[in-house]
Amino acid sequence: MMKKQRVVPPGYLFPKKYTNYFFSLLFLLYMFDYVDRMVVTSLFPFIKDDWGLTDTQLGTLVSAVYWSIVVLVFPISWVVDRWSRRRTIGIMAGLWSLATAAAALTKNFGQLFGTRSLVGIGEAGYAPGGTAMIAGLYPKEKRSWMMGLWNAAIPLGSAIGVAVGGIIATHWGWQNAFGVVALPGLIVAALFFFSKDYKTVKLLKSGTGERGVKLKDKVKMSNLDIVKEFVTKPSLIMTYFGFTATVFVTTSLLTWLPSYFERVYDMEAQAAGTKASLVMLLAIVGAPLGGFLADKWRKTRINARVLFPGLTSILAALFCFLAFTVFQGQVQYIFLLLFGMTVTMFVPAAGAATQDLVHPGLRATSYAIAVVVQNLIGSSMGPIVIGGISDKTDLPTAMSFLPLFLVLAAILFIVGSFFFRKDISKVEEVPLEALE
């Protein structure tokens, strides 16, 4: 009996059914990543009462994850690009889930800080590996849309982490929250060892002979060639730093919004966590919508994946300003919901740009650079800076600074868009091959 032939649509590596199955695994793992990462924020009031910590110390429990990511994201991403995406993802996810579970056994701030650092070690390879996988699994014209759907896992996981953490802490103690949220990630991580991948892409470039004439055969890229992939493209550099300014805001929002509601409106931790999670949950609409609109616009404007984030950052800055500076009560919450939706619309387009602008064999490394820059300056500093301003003034005052960083992000993206057409013309076209 003849073996049934697989139908692989143009632009895909695998049949659509398997591609969507693998995407579902990537989505679930990204969701559990953020459940584990952000559950601690809903536990702040309980930890503060038990251990007498300052807001700055609480902020470092979030920043510890990002510091660890910064340290290890380059070597792990190089392994992703040069070895195996699925195996690296599975190993890292298992590590961060075990580290989350270990937090349930901590007895003091130092121990909890240590387990949070281990969570970051595990998460260092996931975003670059997942981004490279999606860039390879789907056609280029769908790249922003699929990354938008994938990034919807971030607010969903964050909302679940904040809401579930507050509920478990209220009824069974805050340390048990870590143990409960760790288990799903371990299960999904195991499934990656039974999935498929694409062949590692050789680092080759078009060679040139006398008078700049292109040679028929490609030549191996030198270390200098690899460096030039990232430092000679202004649109790519501006995208990295635009990402950074925006995630400063999103991480600060994820970290401090539950405490903001608790302090400003005298809400209980569970209610504050639930209300904050709804704001974060609106990004489920924002990220896919942003990806869909960016891909549509890209059909008529080549630099849309960099210009679009600039425009949405301006819109998010306006909603953020109105929410934290002008209004209170129900009207404030409406603008917070609009802010929650628009502030993540930039992610899929900007993420796709980090893949469009580099050699296909360096895609995970490209996103790793974005991760390093955004975590070192943005994600790790946001909770501490806002916590520090809060310690010296109050939390509402601290939150009112957030729109300034979104304006900065908009400027960076828009400036980068002017260089996009020239930069993308330098990128090597290399077809990917499925690895059975």
Task: State how beta strands 204-208 and 197-198 pair.
Answer: unpaired
Instruction: Tell whether the model's pLDDT for residue 5 goes beyond 90.
Output: no
When pLDDT is cut at 50, 70 and 90, the band that residue 1 belongs to is very low
- Flag the least confident range among 277-286, 345-354, 401-410: 277-286
H-helix or E-strand containing 100?
A: helix 85-102
The CA-based dihedral angle spanning residues 39, 45, 47, 50, taken in that order and rounded to the nearest 10 degrees: -150
Higher pLDDT, 410 or 86: 410
- pLDDT (0 to 100) of residue 86: 77
- pLDDT (0 to 100) of residue 360: 84
- pLDDT (0 to 100) of residue 141: 84
Which tokens belong to 35?
């459940």
* Alpha-carbon gap, residue 239 to 349, rounded angstroms: 10
* Alpha-carbon gap, residue 131 to 185, rounded angstroms: 18
Instruction: Tell whether the model's pLDDT for residue 400 goes beyond 90.
Output: yes
Higher pLDDT, 151 or 210: 151
Q: Report pLDDT digits (tens) over 359-380.
A: 888 888 888 888 888 878 888 7
DSSP 232: S
Instruction: Tell whether the model's pLDDT for residue 337 goes beyond 90.
Output: yes
* Alpha-carbon gap, residue 186 to 177, rounded angstroms: 16
When pLDDT is cut at 50, 70 and 90, the band that residue 2 belongs to is very low
Q: Length of the chain in residues, anyone?
A: 436
Instruction: Tell whether the model's pLDDT for residue 261 goes beyond 80.
Output: yes
Half-sphere exposure of 92 (CA within 13 A, CB side): 31
* Alpha-carbon gap, residue 179 to 177, rounded angstroms: 6
Q: Report pLDDT digits (tens) over 38-52.
A: 888 888 888 888 898
> Is-contact 178 101, C-beta < 8 A?
yes
How many C-beta atoms surround the C-beta of residue 355 within 10 A?
Answer: 24
> Is-contact 162 41, C-beta < 8 A?
yes
Domains with residue ranges and CATH for the chain: 16-198+227-426 (1.20.1250.20)
**For residues 253-275, average pLDDT:** 85
The CA-based dihedral angle spanning residues 276, 281, 282, 288, taken in that order and rounded to the nearest 10 degrees: 150
When pLDDT is cut at 50, 70 and 90, the band that residue 331 belongs to is very high
Most confident of 13-22, 195-204, 230-239: 230-239
**For residues 248-268, average pLDDT:** 88
Average pLDDT across the chain, whole number: 85
- pLDDT (0 to 100) of residue 320: 96
Instruction: Tell whether the model's pLDDT for residue 91 goes beyond 90.
Output: no
Q: Report pLDDT digits (tens) over 312-328.
A: 999 999 999 999 999 99
- Flag the least confident range among 77-86, 177-186, 230-239, 270-279: 77-86
- pLDDT (0 to 100) of residue 195: 78
**For residues 216-231, average pLDDT:** 82
- pLDDT (0 to 100) of residue 290: 93
When pLDDT is cut at 50, 70 and 90, the band that residue 435 belongs to is low
Residue carrying structure tokens 């809060």:
390
When pLDDT is cut at 50, 70 and 90, the band that residue 112 belongs to is very high
**For residues 202-214, average pLDDT:** 61
Percent pLDDT > 70 in the chain is 94
